[in-house]
Amino acid sequence: MPLSDDEQRILRDIEEQLQSDERFATAVSPSGLYRHSVKTVRWAALGVFSSLVFTVVSLQVHFILAFVGFLGMLACVLVIERQLRAMSKVGLKDVAASIRGSRMAAQAMRSKFGRE
Q: What is the pLDDT along the chain (116 residues), one digit of tens a residue?
A: 677 888 888 888 888 877 777 777 666 665 566 778 888 999 999 999 999 999 999 999 999 999 999 999 999 999 999 988 887 766 667 767 777 776 666 676 667 676 55
Q: How far apart are CA 104 and CA 13, in angstroms?
A: 37
User: 36 and 43 in contact (C-beta within 8 Å)?
Assistant: no
- Chain-centre distance for alpha carbon 109: 24
pLDDT for 16? 80
Task: Give the number of residues written for the chain.
Answer: 116
Q: How far apart are CA 17 and CA 6, in angstroms?
A: 17
